[in-house]
Every structure is written in C-alpha cells, then in structure tokens.
C-alpha cells in the first residue's frame, strides 16, 4: 500500500467501506493537511476523486458540520473543527453510506467481519488516521476496543 497520506482507506478490503465513505475520508485528510482553504478541484486532483462526486460529498460534509466552505478568491474548504474531534462515525453518517452500516448478527462470516471492521473504523478519529499516515502499520485502538483487533502488514 502506498504511504501517501490518506491515499486509500479501504485498500484491498474495500468490501466493507463504500466508495462514498472512502472518498469522504480521503477528502478530509487532504483538507486537514492543507494550510489554507482547498478548492474541490484541488482535492479531486490530489486524491484522484471524480470532481462531480466529490462536490456532492463536500456538500454533505458541510451540512454535517464537519467542513466549512469559504467563497471568494481565496475560498475553498476547511475543517469546521479539529481533526481530533471528527470521528469516522460522524463521517460515515454525514455521507449516508449504507454500505458502511454494521449488520445485525449476520450468519455469513464475511458480514460479521465487515461489521467488526466498520465498528473499529467508526471508533477512530480523523486525527488518529492522519497519525498513522494511512499505512498498514500498528494502529492504537481505544481502550474499549483493545484486544478485539490489531492492524499489521501482511
């Protein structure tokens, strides 16, 4: 997996995280890394996200209070609050990605795995994901999730 910050969230396991959520997280990573407001075009080009799809996602993030839009010559998108205060649960809810919803007691083991993965993702903040540089290295989980999963390359 590439070490570019936020380049891919789902990696080979995208069966559990929909494109809308993946794009939203990548866009937020780009905005968080920016020192000035970023235009949708800059975010789309940098993160290889279709611009028309991204503008819809950015609108959803603005409505959810995760991102603020600034108009004008120096306009663009900025985080509405610090990355430490943006949970992945907030992001998934903002974009309404039903594919990311945890299933209820499924019989299929892949669906159970998907539900656990989504549960872990929802417990993370944007800051925690940025701190890992979106690599396959170790990821520290909140105390209530400790022992339920480890992330390692392999």
Quick: pLDDT tens for 40-79. 999 999 999 999 999 999 999 999 999 999 988 888 999 9
Q: Are 27 and 33 in contact (CB under 8 A)?
A: no
Asked if residue 20 lies in contact with residue 55, where contact means CB atoms within 8 angstroms, the answer is no
Residue 99 CB neighbour total at 10 angstroms:
15
Indicate if the pLDDT at residue 117 is higher than 60: yes
Contact in structure between 138 and 150 (CB atoms under 8 Å): yes
Give the domain range for residue 118. Answer: 11-131
Task: Report the alpha-carbon distance of residue 8 to residue 69 in Å, rounded.
Answer: 24
Could you tell me if residue 124 is inside a domain?
yes
How high is the pLDDT of residue 16?
58
Q: Does any domain span residue 141?
A: no
CATH of the domain at 46: 1.10.10.10
Please report how many Cα atoms fall inside a 13 Å half-sphere around the Cα of residue 115, on the Cβ side. 11
Q: How many whole angstroms separate alpha carbon 108 and alpha carbon 79?
A: 38
Task: Tell whether 153 is covered by a domain.
Answer: no
Residue 55 lies in a domain: yes
How many angstroms separate the CA atoms of 80 and 49, rounded?
21
Assess if residue 30 is contained within a domain: yes
pTM over 0.85: no
Per-residue pLDDT at 98 exceeds 90? no
pLDDT value, residue 11: 43
**In the chain, how many domains are there?**
1
* Domain membership flag for residue 37: yes
In a domain, 142, yes or no: no
Six-digit token string for 15: 């069966």
Q: Is residue 110 part of a domain?
A: yes
């Amino acid at each position: 997996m590439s070490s570019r910050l936020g380049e891919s969230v789902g990696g080979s396991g995208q069966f559990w995280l929909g494109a809308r959520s993946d794009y939203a997280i990548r866009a937020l990573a780009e905005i968080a890394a920016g020192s000035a407001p970023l235009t949708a075009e800059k975010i789309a080009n940098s993160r290889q996200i279709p611009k028309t799809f991204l503008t819809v996602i950015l609108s959803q993030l603005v409505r959810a209070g995760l991102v603020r839009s600034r108009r004008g010559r120096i306009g663009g998108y900025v985080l509405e609050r610090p990355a430490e205060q943006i949970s992945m649960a907030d992001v998934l809810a903002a974009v309404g990605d039903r594919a990311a919803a945890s299933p209820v007691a499924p019989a299929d083991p892949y669906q159970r795995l998907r539900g656990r993965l989504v549960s872990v993702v929802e417990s993370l903040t944007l800051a925690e994901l940025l701190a890992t540089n979106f690599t396959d290295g170790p990821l520290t989980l909140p105390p209530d999730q400790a022992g339920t999963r480890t992330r390692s390359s392999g």
